[in-house]
Structure 1
Amino acid sequence: MDIVIAARDLRVRSGDRTLVGPVSFELAHGSTTGLCGPSGAGKSTVLRALVDLLPHGLTRGGELHVLGRLVRYGKGDAELRAKVVLVPQTPVVFGGSVLDNAVFGLRHVVRASRATLRERAEAALREAGLWQEVRDRLDSPAGNLSAGQRQRLCLARAIALEPAALLLDEPTSALDERSRDTVEESVAALRGRRAVLLVSHDPAQVDRLCDTTVNLDQSPAMAADVAVV
């Protein structure tokens, strides 16, 4: 399989102090990898490090290659960032319609007609498993969707960018059992299409969805007064 992301001795630092890592892993096209570890080990922080979204004062060390290209911290270009997309734990739904939300990120990276954007949105909503539920209300407010639908809308918004890799941060942690199962079905359907890195606190979910796991241990150098998620 083609390697989409290769991390070597990835670390997250605050000044000279290492807060998370080192951790090394590869994400292959079409595979789903679980990022596991105890609470506070820095799983979500690793995801943010991969897309240069670390909080102020933290930096990434080690080597990161995306699609064979070395990505220096703070130097990634917009095209490359669109290839690795983070879907956060709490679904962010913007004001506007379902369609507006589905193409929100896409509008910023491509110049296309409304018809083309709508086609890309439909394809993404289908891949996210949401199309059948929203096809008749694309112009309705996205804020009217249920929690599970909002999570899948955020997934569709990421898929619309046609990324090589998706980083999913606890995508079902705030959902009821029925909504969780629906989102899991959408994530499972990504196998063979995208490289997926999944953070989950649920070992059973990792077993259901992931081909391999990467274990992130609590760093012994982490100070008790530093919060890492």
Structure 2
Amino acid sequence: TLPPDPETVAEPDPLTDAAGTDVRAAGAVAAARPGPALDVRAVTRRFGDRTLLGGLAFSRTHAGVIGITGSNGSGKTTLLRMCAQLCAADTGTIEVCGIDLDGGDAPAARALVGFAPHEVLAWHAHSVRANLRQALRLAGTSRSAAAERAEAALISWGLLTLAELPVGRLSRGQAQRYALARADLLSPPVLLLDEPTVGLDDEARVALDRAIAVWKADRIVVVASHERAWLAECADQVVAVTG
């Protein structure tokens, strides 16, 4: 569920965001900037009679790129959604930077994860700039700082000329660039990218490759993609999801 319309929200509540996250706890964790770490232990997710992920387990305790491969419907997106706390594992556990996502400190982990989903989540009637600013404000960023960070993201991802265009009118490639910019707004130690190359033109793909090369120096970047050859080039670790 999306938070309130960005045109109607004033300064964010100093204690909680629209999802009910206590930003005091999230801010404290973010300020501490723990080293990147991701630990997935024997996770499964059931959809009716079907079980996905089959007790998948992997971990990484230092920066780098984890490539997630698998056929359509095998559970790649489900895995990323679980790491982003958008759905829960039916069995097993996931820890982000030492925080158990099933534990009492789980809300604080949201400040440590950036997610660029395949299906872009945004206020589609409102501009790219407004969406980026509001994402920052709901994370507890002041109005002035949100404006500054949003402008930097627009420039970095080649979105400045599209800044006043409603997100719903973006092309697939443009929307993907917006999603990547939004995921990186808070410079989280763990980034989750779901099929990030889909719809990108050559220029945008070069920008993505450069960004991943920078991110992997001090963060964990989890990339789910059907492009195995590309993953083999950019990933330090590859995890196969078989469904």
TM-score normalised to structure 2 length: 0.72
What pairs with 1:214-225 in structure 2 (closer than 5 Å)?
Answer: 214-218=239-243
1:93 and 1:150 in contact (8 A); partners too: no
Aligned pair count reads: 208
The answer to whether the aligner puts 1:104 opposite 2:134 as a matched pair is yes
Query: 2:141 & 2:71 partners in 1: Cα distance?
Result: 43
Q: Quick check: which one's helix share is greater?
A: 2
2:189 and 2:220 in contact (8 A); partners too: yes
Partner amino acid, structure 2, of 1:101: N
The answer to whether the aligner puts 1:51 opposite 2:76 as a matched pair is no
1:123 and 1:160 in contact (8 A); partners too: no
> Once the 2 structures are TM-superposed, how far is the Cα of residue 35 of structure 1 from its aligned partner?
0.7
- The corresponding residue for 1:12 is 45
Given candidates 112, 116, 126, the residue that maps to 2:145 is: 116
Query: 1:50 & 1:7 partners in 2: Cα distance?
Result: 9
> Once the 2 structures are TM-superposed, how far is the Cα of residue 111 of structure 1 from its aligned partner?
4.5
Partner amino acid, structure 2, of 1:80: A
2:36 and 2:190 in contact (8 A); partners too: no
TM-score normalised to structure 1 length: 0.76
Query: 1:202 & 1:36 partners in 2: Cα distance?
Result: 8
SS of the residue 2:199 aligns to? coil
What pairs with 1:1-229 in structure 2 (closer than 5 Å)?
Answer: 2-14=35-47, 18-54=51-87, 59-72=89-102, 77-94=106-123, 95-112=125-142, 114-125=143-154, 129-130=156-157, 133-135=158-160, 138=163, 140-143=164-167, 145-218=170-243
1:179-226 superposed Cα distances (whole Å, 9 cap, x missing partner) = 4344333333322142110001011110222111111123xxxxxxxx
SS of the residue 1:82 aligns to? helix
> Once the 2 structures are TM-superposed, how far is the Cα of residue 29 of structure 1 from its aligned partner?
4.3
Where structure 1 has 5 or more consecutive residues not aligned to the other structure, the ranges are 219-229
SS of the residue 1:189 aligns to? helix
> Once the 2 structures are TM-superposed, how far is the Cα of residue 156 of structure 1 from its aligned partner?
1.5
> Once the 2 structures are TM-superposed, how far is the Cα of residue 84 of structure 1 from its aligned partner?
1.6
SS of the residue 1:201 aligns to? coil
Q: Given the superposition, is the C-alpha separation of residues 82 and 21 from structure 1 closer, same or farther in structure 2, using an over 3 Å criterion?
A: farther
Q: Given the superposition, is the C-alpha separation of residues 179 and 160 from structure 1 closer, same or farther in structure 2, using an over 3 Å criterion?
A: closer
State, as a whole percentage, how many aligned pairs show the same letter. 33
1:55-79 superposed Cα distances (whole Å, 9 cap, x missing partner) = xxx7432121121122217x66433
**Which segment drifts farther, 88-97 or 202-211?**
88-97
